[in-house]
């Protein structure tokens, strides 16, 4: 398949096709969705659910997200502000953007955005460690760029039944370490590098400053 830079291009066939082996040519990938062809051989998408440590179960069929389109990338973002990120699947050839609503049972969560001063503006490259009871959850601020998509520069923590984060550590690219304790769950917070308080982002109402119980930095 060709890879022209605009929707009007039509790259001519480069050689003869071996139709006996199922070869085909599409002169412009933007028109691919209108062709009776599929680069993935109509293989259905899989959705893998993590359970019991390092084990995964394909729940694509039962979740309804097992599309047989030419999906090329998946991104997640919580468009409903309920702490349950939705999935976005981008397809090749101008196929529709697929959005899958998260309908898993609700649980406690925490979303974190960073604002750097010595580090870069969005804290890209920062490492976060969330301690809940005897469990530690690790996240990196890494807005992955993929096919026609980009992840947001946020960290999402699924907390299960816990409504309090015992300890939250932010390891900034500058080398500074911030520690917050007893952070309430079910909110989106904005942490500024070197500040003893964080902001809580309330959808439709802006932000509010919250004084942290304890903060330390190196």
At residue 153 the predicted structure's pLDDT band, cuts being 50, 70 and 90, is very high
CATH value at residue 159: 2.60.40
What pTM, to 2 d.p., does this model score?
0.73
Same-domain status, 130 and 68: no
Same-domain status, 184 and 136: yes
Q: What is the pLDDT of residues 3-13, one digit of tens each?
A: 545 667 777 77
Same-domain status, 173 and 83: no
Same-domain status, 172 and 119: yes
Q: What is the pLDDT of residues 71-112, one digit of tens each?
A: 778 888 898 888 899 988 887 765 678 898 988 888 999 999
120 versus 213: the higher-pLDDT residue is 120
pLDDT of 136 above 50 = yes
- Whether 59 is in a domain gets the answer yes
At residue 205 the predicted structure's pLDDT band, cuts being 50, 70 and 90, is low
pLDDT value, residue 216: 45
Residue 70 class from Cβ within 10 Å (0-12 exposed, 13-18 middle, 19+ buried)?
buried
Q: Domain range for residue 132?
A: 108-217
How does the average pLDDT of the chain come out, rounded?
A: 82
- Whether 18 is in a domain gets the answer no
Q: Which of 80, 50, 86, 79 is nearest to 65 (CA)?
A: 86
Same-domain status, 114 and 152: yes
- Whether 95 is in a domain gets the answer yes
Which region among 153-157, 174-178, 187-191, 209-213 has the lowest average model confidence (pLDDT)? Answer: 209-213
- Whether 164 is in a domain gets the answer yes
- Whether 161 is in a domain gets the answer yes
Instruction: Report the C-alpha gap between 138 and 153 in whole angstroms.
Output: 15
Q: What is the pLDDT of residues 107-123, one digit of tens each?
A: 999 999 999 999 999 99
Which region among 16-30, 54-68, 113-127, 155-169 has the lowest average model confidence (pLDDT)? Answer: 16-30
- Whether 43 is in a domain gets the answer no
- Whether 34 is in a domain gets the answer no
Same-domain status, 131 and 59: no
pLDDT value, residue 48: 85
As for how many domains the chain has, the answer is 2
- Whether 2 is in a domain gets the answer no
Same-domain status, 125 and 170: yes
Same-domain status, 119 and 211: yes
154: tokens are 């946020």
pLDDT value, residue 161: 93
Residue showing tokens 């769950």: 185
Q: What is the pLDDT of residues 19-53, one digit of tens each?
A: 787 776 777 666 665 665 566 666 778 888 888 77
Same-domain status, 74 and 113: no
Are residues 147 and 72 in contact, defined by beta-carbon separation less than 8 angstroms? yes
Same-domain status, 94 and 115: no
State the average pLDDT over residues 152-158.
93
Same-domain status, 120 and 91: no
pLDDT value, residue 214: 46
Same-domain status, 96 and 127: no
């Amino acid at each position: 398949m060709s890879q022209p830079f605009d929707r009007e291009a039509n790259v001519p066939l480069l050689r003869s096709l071996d139709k006996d082996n199922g070869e085909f040519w599409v002169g412009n990938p933007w028109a691919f969705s209108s062709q009776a062809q599929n680069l993935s051989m109509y293989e259905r998408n899989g959705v893998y659910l993590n359970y019991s440590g390092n084990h995964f179960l394909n729940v694509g069929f039962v979740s309804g997200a097992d599309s047989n389109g030419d999906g090329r990338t998946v991104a997640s973002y919580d468009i409903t502000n309920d702490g349950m990120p939705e999935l976005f699947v981008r397809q090749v050839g101008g196929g529709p953007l697929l959005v899958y609503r998260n309908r898993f049972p609700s649980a406690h969560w925490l979303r974190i955005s960073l604002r750097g001063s010595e580090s870069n503006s969005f804290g890209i490259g920062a490492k976060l460690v969330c301690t809940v009871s005897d469990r530690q959850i690790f996240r990196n601020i890494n807005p992955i760029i993929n096919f026609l998509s980009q992840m947001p520069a946020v960290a999402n923590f699924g907390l299960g039944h816990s409504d309090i984060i015992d300890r939250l550590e932010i390891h900034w690219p500058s080398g500074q370490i911030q520690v917050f304790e007893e952070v309430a769950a079910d909110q989106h917070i904005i942490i500024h590098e070197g500040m003893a308080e964080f902001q809580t982002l309330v959808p439709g109402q802006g932000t509010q400053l919250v004084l942290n119980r304890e903060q330390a930095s190196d």
